[in-house]
Structure 1
């Protein structure tokens, strides 16, 4: 049973409303954020209209602010914005139309705020992206006129300087309906046909006017318009289920890019147009395997299956695995084999992986699969090829192997330690010191170090070669 002195809601209730009110006044004194929150709660208790008025006043104050928000002040700004966003959601429960107007005003704060804010952490844009999603829920309840909503969306998309309106058409599509989507499409098409735009004021400030700056600013403005048009027409096409309209937005050159080929093929598949999907997915240059992502491979397999070419799909799964050692390809391949044949194929796959020219690529696969006995043998036989710079592969591999294969885990961690010290990677010294401690803990479980140094000999060699690196040794327990 919790003590009555524990700080929780139930114990605070026991203080009584009068005492709690006194405490809140005392605690909020000199704290503008806390006072705003309390005023907002009081307004909400009075009526939704009072709460809306309080929100409107705060949004106006934020819009008028010109002071720069650095990383130290960013947290307070995020908290303030999040408070207003949540309060708007409260208003929406009783007055969706009023909440919708407030939310558009809230979203309009994004550009001026980002113009005076350090959002290197990405925490501010997250609030606006959440508010953009809120627009979808509130517009459905507000019963907004489709054409009016389309015009609001159009203006928003033009002002989408920082990605705050990404996904807007998708969330508004149910409220826009076919009428609103058609109207928005016409507005976007009209924008695409307008004469080349003059540079926006913000672009002029960025690039200046000397040494061709005006021309560059002009190019920026045109690229912005082109991006707005393309992305909006793509989103409208998806909302209307118009695959051809989506494809029309992709240039011939873009259709050769694997990620674009995937998007086109997936939409064609969903529309039951597998033959066209096959043409789309194969439009890329397959002689450049280094730029082909796994999503392209998986989509090509889906197309083959849709075409009824199961044997080709299976052969392609194996070919993809041989090239990339991607576990998902192998799992998918094995799942389609008859009983007992899958065991033989798995052994063949592991043997292939262990012959891969990249020791780190191979190790990553056998540890992930997992095939830990083979992974241990592999590490011990190719220890000289381990590069401690591959921290993202080696550290997890050591952690997985240490339970049953302490020597292999030790060899891997020594590679990490050696790299950090030999190349003076001081930022890794803390990790290297931890790895050395882990090696010491494992040493007692290793009966035979074989061709590798015992732990004491290894530490002695480290001190002989790197004894002057006090910033490392000071971390060693």
Structure 2
């Protein structure tokens, strides 16, 4: 934000004619930028801007081209730009026109999501934001003859892609408490009828989810609980976690604690009891019962030795007890089988010698970690911890080159150049191959990836 404010301040110092000529010179270079310039020029003429927006939304609706993963961010920005123009330049002056535009924009979601790789969720997020704008615009617009409650009910029926997930939890932006409770009664009656018919468990789920959504809008833990228990009279630990979190979010700590009684046990890839203790500690925090919170957090650290859990305890114990807990925590970390579970807390505790030993020992395991996991580890390592950085940078570079991810070659070049720089600073590679030998290995395996090497050799 500071950088943006400085840019605005610098631009205001220019003569308006200079800026106008500069903007004109950009026109025609990029279709996305052209649209922004056209909308800027029409921002004072709401009628013409509305017509332009209708045209762009119609184009979005009928477009058929596939949008790959690496193009999805730009596409979501395009959708967000339309959102911005409607919200800021049309809605304040013409709410009814803005509402119709928002409905039309929301209607493009199915076509957009059907033809894109939205693995990162950017496009879905953009449409969820439009769903929230629908509520805002509706609250400023003329109500339909059948009323807004019915309009919300009809819209919520078509949520196959999850873009309307924010609708009911935020319906208080539009509906009164009485209207929300009428809507809740509709969903509860529908749920009970569906359960009686025993026809379609998916229908049961939809009725329950919608009832939960209204409960969120009302911040009503009893209603939320009812929506869950009607479908699952004996909830599993995931459902109990959901219920406890909702109660905590509503400040209903006593109700939350009812769901946190007893041991939740363990699962193959999960630690349910750690989750239970963490939520229980949150309840004690909300109830200002610090001694019980301290005891609970110590128990949590025993079964889930993470740096985050260790940090939670420190303000609640003496310096002497903190030292004892640190020693015990490190011992627990070193017993972990997962390399990340060992390395991350050791780096955060600045126990770099032990971290380096583990990184060298587990280098083959680290090489099989996902790119994002490796990157998250690298972000924890200070620049002066050369050996750990070298190990992680090599793993990241090998991952990019092995998978031949050409769109990521720029990142790979950055990693290799950092490895070049670290070679001039490091005093010992321990048992690792030195940089020259590593480079021979990389070129031996990936020497034919010419697009990568051309980028690397371009200084």
> Is residue 243 of structure 1 aligned with residue 227 of structure 2?
no
Cα drift, residue 400 of structure 1: 5.8
Could you list the per-position Cα deviations for residues 253-281 of structure 1 after superposition, in whole angstroms to 9, with x for gaps in the alignment? Answer: 773133x3233123434666545422312
Question: Structure 2 matches for 1:157-176, cutoff 5 A?
Answer: 157-176=156-175
How many angstroms apart in 2 are the aligned matches of 1:140 and 1:267? 26
In the alignment, which of 289, 294, 298 is matched to residue 314 of structure 1?
A: 294
Question: Structure 2 matches for 1:352-371, cutoff 5 A?
Answer: 352-371=332-351
How many angstroms apart in 2 are the aligned matches of 1:32 and 1:358? 45
In the alignment, which of 342, 348, 366 is matched to residue 322 of structure 2?
A: 342
> Is residue 327 of structure 1 aligned with residue 312 of structure 2?
no
Give the match for residue 130 of structure 1: 129
Q: CA RMSD in A?
A: 5.0
Gap change, CA 1:272 and 1:195, over 3 Å in 2: closer
Give the match for residue 116 of structure 2: 118
Cα drift, residue 444 of structure 1: 5.1
Give the match for residue 264 of structure 1: 243
Gap change, CA 1:325 and 1:11, over 3 Å in 2: same
How many angstroms apart in 2 are the aligned matches of 1:148 and 1:317? 50
How many angstroms apart in 2 are the aligned matches of 1:444 and 1:80? 47
TM-score by length of 2: 0.72
Assess if the C-alpha contact under 8 Å between 2:284 and 2:293 holds in 1. yes
Assess if the C-alpha contact under 8 Å between 1:132 and 1:168 holds in 2. yes
Cα drift, residue 120 of structure 1: 3.1
How many angstroms apart in 1 are the aligned matches of 2:105 and 2:176? 24
Cα drift, residue 33 of structure 1: 9.6
Give the match for residue 388 of structure 1: 367
Cα drift, residue 171 of structure 1: 3.1
Cα drift, residue 413 of structure 1: 5.9
Assess if the C-alpha contact under 8 Å between 2:396 and 2:412 holds in 1. yes
Assess if the C-alpha contact under 8 Å between 1:353 and 1:362 holds in 2. yes
Gap change, CA 1:247 and 1:352, over 3 Å in 2: same
Gap change, CA 1:27 and 1:180, over 3 Å in 2: same
Give the match for residue 83 of structure 1: 82
How many angstroms apart in 2 are the aligned matches of 1:53 and 1:393? 45
Could you list the per-position Cα deviations for residues 173-207 of structure 1 after superposition, in whole angstroms to 9, with x for gaps in the alignment? Answer: 143112321332344345446779xxxxxxxxxxx
How many angstroms apart in 1 are the aligned matches of 2:390 and 2:31? 54
Gap change, CA 1:145 and 1:68, over 3 Å in 2: closer
Q: Could you say what secondary structure the match of 1:281 adopts?
A: coil
Give the match for residue 13 of structure 1: 16
Give the match for residue 66 of structure 2: 70
In the alignment, which of 203, 209, 213 is matched to residue 231 of structure 1?
A: 209
Cα drift, residue 342 of structure 1: 1.5
In the alignment, which of 447, 451, 456 is matched to residue 470 of structure 1?
A: 447
Cα drift, residue 426 of structure 1: 5.2
How many angstroms apart in 1 are the aligned matches of 2:124 and 2:78? 13
Gap change, CA 1:137 and 1:377, over 3 Å in 2: same
Could you list the per-position Cα deviations for residues 219-267 of structure 1 after superposition, in whole angstroms to 9, with x for gaps in the alignment? Answer: 8xx5664343222211212222321110111143773133x32331234
Could you list the per-position Cα deviations for residues 272-324 of structure 1 after superposition, in whole angstroms to 9, with x for gaps in the alignment? Answer: 65454223124773133732366544212223556776555434323332333
Q: Which runs of 5+ in 1 are unaligned?
A: 1-6, 197-218
Could you list the per-position Cα deviations for residues 379-432 of structure 1 after superposition, in whole angstroms to 9, with x for gaps in the alignment? Answer: 46x467754223656666567667555455556666778x769x9665599688
TM-score by length of 1: 0.69
When the two structures are aligned, how many residues end up with a matched partner? 433
Assess if the C-alpha contact under 8 Å between 2:194 and 2:204 holds in 1. no
How many angstroms apart in 2 are the aligned matches of 1:100 and 1:269? 35
Q: Could you say what secondary structure the match of 2:67 adopts?
A: coil
